Structure 1
Amino acid sequence: MGDWPQGYARHVFDKLDSTLSEAARMAPTLSGPAWILAGEQSAARGRRGRAWATPPGNFAGTLIMPRTGSPANAALRSFVASLALREAFVEVTGQTDVFALKWPNDVLLKGGKVAGILLETVGEHLLIGIGVNLRHAPTPEQVEAGAVTPVSVFSVTGVHVQPEAFLDALASAFARFEDQFTTYGFSPIRTAWLSHAARIGEVVTARTMRDETVGVFEDVDEAGNLILKTAKGRVAITAADVYF
């Protein structure tokens, strides 16, 4: 596994209500970035307040970072985290071609959802919550209709990865991509992300609470927006759930 990155603190708990909640409580006391890992979570959450199951053996972590720049700039950390997740998966499994990135914040393993990312801000800090199905995956009945089927690393690859070992790989990868992002901006991150994007060139549906847009996934622009080619022309999607 990669060496633990310099300047990043590490806090490991047997059980928490939520690593995101613990991060929010801890943030005011921190002066630099810190990772929080929990063996179990009793009140985990995903995007839009959805429940996120974290049975023992899965990965539940949050990175706390001082928030710099605009909110739009902070939101681009989801792409940094996605790339770091993919690199960590490749490192721990030894498999390279089975992982893909789903806009805006999921990682797929042979087409099934294996990891999700949730960004929140608390004061002057950015929280990057990450859940990974290392050992177990929710059943199809536990996810909303039309969502990508959940899978686990173990069920698909047969590789058993301990959460703390995965954190080592993830933290090291994130630090490298974060250095690239802060040094060179979003452009190289965007290029790398697109090279691993799921369903690029195919028809997808982007759905918000108010409407949905169907079109060909053409690109992700320099602001991180999903670009769809529709019957009415190219449309930039700022935030949505994407369905295949």
Structure 2
Amino acid sequence: MADWPDGVGRRVLTQTDSTMAEAARLAPDLSGPEWILALSQSSAKGRRGRAWSMPRGNFAASLVMRPDGPVEQIALRSFVAALALRDALIATGAEPESLSLKWPNDVLHYGGKLAGILLESLGDGRGGVVHLIIGIGVNLAQAPETAELEPRAVPPVALGRAISPEAFLDVLAPAFAAREASLVTYGFGPTRTEWLAHAARLGEVITARLPSEEITGTFQDVDETGNLILETPKGRRAISAADIHF
């Protein structure tokens, strides 16, 4: 772990309910950021409270941190995490051209879902954020059964390389630290530009499913606040959160 970032904790658990829940429990007593890796989870979850399937040998970890910068930058860590994941996957042997980034929080491998990212915040009761928890799941060893997927979801794929979750964490943690330092130092601009360079389906027609409507349009951009920009028959729409279907 020669490249492990200074001041960042590393905790490996044989089993837990979920790394997100464990991070939330530990957060008040931590003196600095910490990665929490679990080799097995009994109640893992993804976005919108959905179950996250974790076959043995796959990667599941959460980073708990006190985010620097203004409140509006906090959610931008999903882009930081996606780029860090791409860096780590390439460093462990994935072909760069095989990887693409699906807004807002997935990493695709040859078009299939390889990894997902989940952000949760712990507030101070006054609208501020005390801790941010970034959960990351990667199908290192095997993909979940497709019967567990929601309709129209991107089919899961596995990396197909022999790397342990612990070894992958030792590559991901410094990659995230470098991308985080860029965000804090230079703002979202460079992160946004780099993310867009690897965005899945940029310039193509996609569908954004919101709780009350579906919006179909051409994926034009991600704006300076991280919103997805669609060009639709009714004009440009900025979307802050949605499920995206190709």
Interval of TM-score (by shorter of Structure 1 and Structure 2): over 0.9
Describe how 1:1-244 pairs up with structure 2 within 5 A.
3-123=3-123, 124-154=130-160, 159-244=161-246
RMSD, aligned α-carbons = 1.2
Identity of counterpart residues, as a percentage?
Answer: 59
Secondary structure of 1:93's aligned partner: coil
Secondary structure of 1:85's aligned partner: helix
Q: For residues 198 and 94 of structure 2, what CA distance do their matches in structure 1 show?
A: 16
Deviation, 1:40, is 0.3
Q: For residues 95 and 9 of structure 1, what CA distance do their matches in structure 2 show?
A: 30
1:194-238: CA deviations, max 9, x gaps? Answer: 000000000000001111110000000000000001001111011
| 2:141 aligned partner, one-letter code | R
Deviation, 1:67, is 3.3
Q: For residues 231 and 71 of structure 1, what CA distance do their matches in structure 2 show?
A: 33
Secondary structure of 1:81's aligned partner: helix
C-alpha distance 242-5 of structure 1, shift in aligned 2 (>3 A): same
**TM-score, normalised to structure 1's length?**
0.96
Secondary structure of 2:56's aligned partner: coil
Deviation, 1:143, is 0.6
CA contact (8 A) 1:2 1:168 kept: no
Gaps of 5+ in 1: none
CA contact (8 A) 2:68 2:184 kept: no
Q: For residues 82 and 168 of structure 2, what CA distance do their matches in structure 1 show?
A: 14
Count how many residue pairs are aligned between Structure 1 and Structure 2: 240
Deviation, 1:133, is 0.5
